């Protein structure tokens, strides 16, 4: 696929929170990462308002293992509560994704240099990302490196299908949809031979509105062009 990238992300722990478990202050992870969490990792590797990162597939390499921990969450009103968080342990995912220009942002048309963005993306993957990588939540540090998506042996390669029920797919933001509202998407993922193939955000037919929101304005006064950024990255490498 055009402008595609493949990378491996790993970590000791991950917490892709099921929203239903937040009600009582506890947190329980989904068994697999959501589209939005993997998109967040791609955005941490390289993102600008000119582009939208899309996650195409994720390959689950290690067995799904969970571990519960007693956590003292920060309470700004005071108190000393103990909550139970359930994490995924020893996770390794191979991810395949790509970027497309955000046509809902005509204010960023000056920065649509495909080759420059793609070269910066590839270099950013090799560098482990331009920002810190987190696996669902800040306390779960992740590490990224380039990989070949189909190489290696995954734990679920020989299992035809695993169903995970209804999960959050991701969040619709106004600057990506052109609608002045924040929305959440739901779907029913199926892992086939260790691989989950994601549907595109606009193909999700279960969408719930959260609140009204307007997109942030960007232009060449507050965003560096791809040419300037590429030049800066070249100077940093030297």
The domains of the chain are located at 4-164+190-199
Tens digits of residue pLDDT in 79-97: 567 788 999 999 999 999 9
> Has residue 231 got a pLDDT over 80?
no
Q: What is the pLDDT of residue 96?
A: 98
Q: What is the pLDDT of residue 57?
A: 98
Tens digits of residue pLDDT in 128-138: 999 999 999 99
Q: What CATH class has 4-164+190-199?
A: alpha beta
CA distances from 15 to 26, 54, 207 (A): 12, 21, 23
**Token pair 């993922």 is at which residue?**
189
Tokens of 41: 């990792």
Phi, psi angle pair for 100, to nearest 5°? -135, 155
Q: What is the pLDDT of residue 235?
A: 62
State the average pLDDT for the chain: 90
**Which pLDDT band holds residue 75 (cuts at 50, 70, 90)?**
low
């Amino acid at each position: 696929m055009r402008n595609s990238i493949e990378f491996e992300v790993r970590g000791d722990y991950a917490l892709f929170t099921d929203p239903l478990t937040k009600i009582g202050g506890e947190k329980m992870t989904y068994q697999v990462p959501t589209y939005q969490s993997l998109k967040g990792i791609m955005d941490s590797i390289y993102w600008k308002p000119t582009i939208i990162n899309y996650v195409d597939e994720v390959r689950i390499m290690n067995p799904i293992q969970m571990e519960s921990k007693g956590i003292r969450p920060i309470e700004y009103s005071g108190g000393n509560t103990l909550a139970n968080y359930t994490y995924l342990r020893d996770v390794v995912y191979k991810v395949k994704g790509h970027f497309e220009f955000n046509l809902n942002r005509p204010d960023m048309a000056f920065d649509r240099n495909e080759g420059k963005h793609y070269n910066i993306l590839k270099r950013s993957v090799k560098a482990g990302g331009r920002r810190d990588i987190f696996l669902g939540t800040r306390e779960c540090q992740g590490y990224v490196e380039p990989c070949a998506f189909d190489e290696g042996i995954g734990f679920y390669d020989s299992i035809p299908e695993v169903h995970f029920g209804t999960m959050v797919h991701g969040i619709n933001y106004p600057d990506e949809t052109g609608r002045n509202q924040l929305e959440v998407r739901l779907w029913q993922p199926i892992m086939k031979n260790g691989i989950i193939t994601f549907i595109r955000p606009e193909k999700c037919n279960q969408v719930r509105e959260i609140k009204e929101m307007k997109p942030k304005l960007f232009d060449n006064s507050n965003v560096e062009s791809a040419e300037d950024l590429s030049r800066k990255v070249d100077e940093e490498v030297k």
